[in-house]
A and B are shown apart, each in its own frame.
Chain A
Amino acid sequence: MNPLQILRVAIRALVRNKMRSFLTTLGIIIGVAAVIAMVAIGEGAKAQVEASFASMGSNLLIVLPGSTTAGGQRGGFGSMPTLTWDDLRAIRTEAPAVRYAAPQLSSGAQLMSEDQNWSTRVYGTTPEFFMIRNWPTSMGSAMSDSDVEGGTKVVFLGSTVVDKLFGPNADPVGQLIRIRNIPFEVKGVLAKKGQSPMGQDYDDAAYIPLKTFQTKIQGGLQQFIQGVVLIGATSESTTQVAVQQVTALLRDRHHIGLGQDDDFSIRNLTELASAQEQGTKTLTTLLASIAAVSLLVGGIGIMNIMLVSVTERTREIGVRMAVGAKPRNILAQFLVEALTLAIAGGVIGIGLGVLAAQRLAAQFHWPMLIRPDIIVVSVVFSALVGVVFGLYPARKASRLDPIDALRFE
């Protein structure tokens, strides 16, 4: 008998017992569907986390100035400004792993439109800031270098601030608002960005050109940067290199000798992101292994039913042997039956799993991510389950004595 004939005999036998065949595959169907759906959930969660870190800024480093010690009391980071504007220029030009560097000065302030007011943080920065943050403008125009150089009184608002001052979906471009009673023209509205991974609302902020901030909000030019420096590394893999380059550069510029502490600190947010990713990866693995166990149980279900089937069909086996089926023909038939059930279960399971993943993705507003490798693994695994758990019943069938089998009631 050629493999095609064996397959046809097996399929015919399965079709003869549709209900039982279906119930047998149910275990595999549920197992495979669970694996696919669980992995999709894990991947969706991972993508969600990745997206929230991406909104924070790509390959982001934050350089904070040092701390003060006055009369035994130590201030926190930033309490003593140690970063100079020359440091910033040096970071821009002398650290190859740095793509962008932008200062970020901030102050709390009261904003007033014609009939509303809102307290928020006002930031002074340069156009690079928006590059590092991956933050496009949704209305009006983006901050330009000439805004910074000219010290113009323009403001770029986050969408939450627009809501509070002008009402939802209003277009405030061109209108005047007052910050600390100084009139600013709204030049642009930033695209909605949502929350940071720590729950802070990115959109509740107003941005003005650095020079404007220094002259109008902070007052007076200073040698030191009264804030932090944001750095965008050239790529995710070079963030660590960028940390080393900037550290070496600043230690050199600040004349810090060997063994002395830095008078600044660098936060690498990419590391935080990868730690979060590791967490979701663990979650995915956990969910997938639970699902894999159910697949295994499905396999045992196949073995169970195949054993029952062998007993029930003892007479049929006897007849087949009497008309000339060799033990290996019987073995092949039952093995192929188990295999067919397992693979059919796998295929149906994939369909159901994808469907479930779609529903769940819609429910949680996640991107739907089906990993093709998981689909391949599921099919291979269910085939394996079919062979492993089909082998014992098939061997049992092939070893029956034809006389006993024919006499079996």
Chain B
Amino acid sequence: MSSSSALLLLDDVTKVYHMGDVEVHALRGVSLSVEEGEFVAIMGASGSGKSTLMNIIGCLDRPTRGRYLLAGEEVSTLDRNALAEKRNRTLGFVFQNFNLLSRTSAIENVELPLLYAGLHTRERHEHSRAALARVGLGDRMHHHPNQMSGGQQQRVAIARALVANPKVILADEPTGNLDSVTSVEVMAIFQELCDSGITVVLVTHEPDIARYAARVVVMRDGRIRSDSRQEPQRAVPAPAEATAGGEP
């Protein structure tokens, strides 16, 4: 199932944590290949290793053993600076608790990756404006996180993830803090991003959410239990909610 053209290629990746004297085997040999434009949901109970896998895919952590090729480049041996650059240029993150900077406007939050990419103020502004418009928040650019609903905050986070034009967006339980209606809205955005060619990797423990993905990888005890493709369900936001969500 692995091919050299894969965007993400993990080959027998293991991860061992040392917690005092105890060795925790978070990943016990995971091989996974994700093509460009795929929408993958990684499922599993807590402690199954799905978060560790996500961290390694997201270049936040390095595998203990095994290889990880991101867009054809070996990244498991890169240093902290090089990994930061990968996160900046190739990856985008969406978290369960949004992780927006408080007391900071939406557009400033979205600009953050571009700041570290070294773009000038005007370019940063243009790109961020476009990204916010793309998630339907063109009219809330100067709102602060505490002035926005959970769904809106998560959409700001998605805008931040996609503003630097990444190849992959990694979403760790993006709907975990949202109600079901808002969850559908967020999933609709992910599907739309996927349609435009961005690879989306989603970690969730909710089967309802995994239904929107075209491929479901189930983890258990640090190994992949199953890897199946499915016809994804289209996420159709409720019309009333969509306007309340702030479409201009």
A386 close to B (CB within 8 Å): no
Asked if B93 and A316 make an inter-chain contact with CB atoms under 8 angstroms apart, the answer reads no
Interface SS of chain A:
helix
* Cβ-closest chain B residue relative to A324: B88
B118 near A1: Cβ-Cβ < 8 Å: yes
Q: Given A321-B84, A323-B88, A324-B84, A329–B116 Cβ distance below 8 Å?
A: yes
Report how far A370 CA is from B35 CA in the complex, Å.
71
Binary interface encoding of chain B residues 130-142 relative to chain A, with 1 for a CB under 8 A from any of its CBs, else 0: 0000000000000
Contacts of A267 in B (CB 8 A): none
Contact A320 B116, beta carbon cutoff 8 Å: yes
Cα A1 to Cα B55 with chains together (Å): 26
Contact residues of B between 18 and 40, Cβ < 8 Å to A = none
A326 & B113 in contact (Cβ 8 Å cutoff): no
Residues on the A chain within 8 Å of B100, using CB? 319
Neighbouring A residues of B118 by C-beta, 8 Å: 1-2
Q: Which residues of B contact A9 (CB under 8 A)?
A: 115
Q: Does B247 contact A (CB under 8 A)?
A: no
Q: Assess the B116–A1 pair: CB atoms within 8 A.
A: yes
Whether B50 is near chain A, meaning CB under 8 Å from some CB there, is no
Which B residues lie within 8 Å of A16 (CB)?
102-104
Within 8 A of B (CB), among A298-334: 315-316, 318-329
Chain B residues with Cβ below 8 Å from A318 are 99
Interface: A377 (CB within 8 A):
no
Tally of A interface residues using CB under 8 Å = 23
**Minimum CB–CB distance for B87 against chain A, Å:** 5
Contact present for A324 and B87 (CB under 8 Å): yes
Beta-carbon contact of B89 and A324 below 8 Å: yes
Q: List 28 A-B contacts (CB under 8 A).
A: A1-B115, A2-B118, A12-B108, A16-B104, A315-B99, A319-B99, A319-B112, A320-B112, A320-B116, A321-B84, A321-B87, A322-B99, A323-B93, A323-B113, A324-B84, A324-B87, A324-B89, A324-B113, A324-B116, A324-B164, A325-B84, A327-B80, A327-B81, A328-B81, A329-B116, A403-B55, A403-B60, A406-B99
Interface residues of A (CB under 8 A from B): 1-2, 5, 9, 12, 16, 315-316, 318-329, 402-403, 406
Given contacts A321-B87, A323-B116, A324-B88, 16 further A-B contacts (CB under 8 A): A12-B104, A16-B103, A322-B93, A323-B87, A323-B112, A323-B164, A324-B84, A324-B87, A324-B89, A324-B117, A325-B84, A329-B116, A403-B55, A403-B61, A406-B95, A406-B99
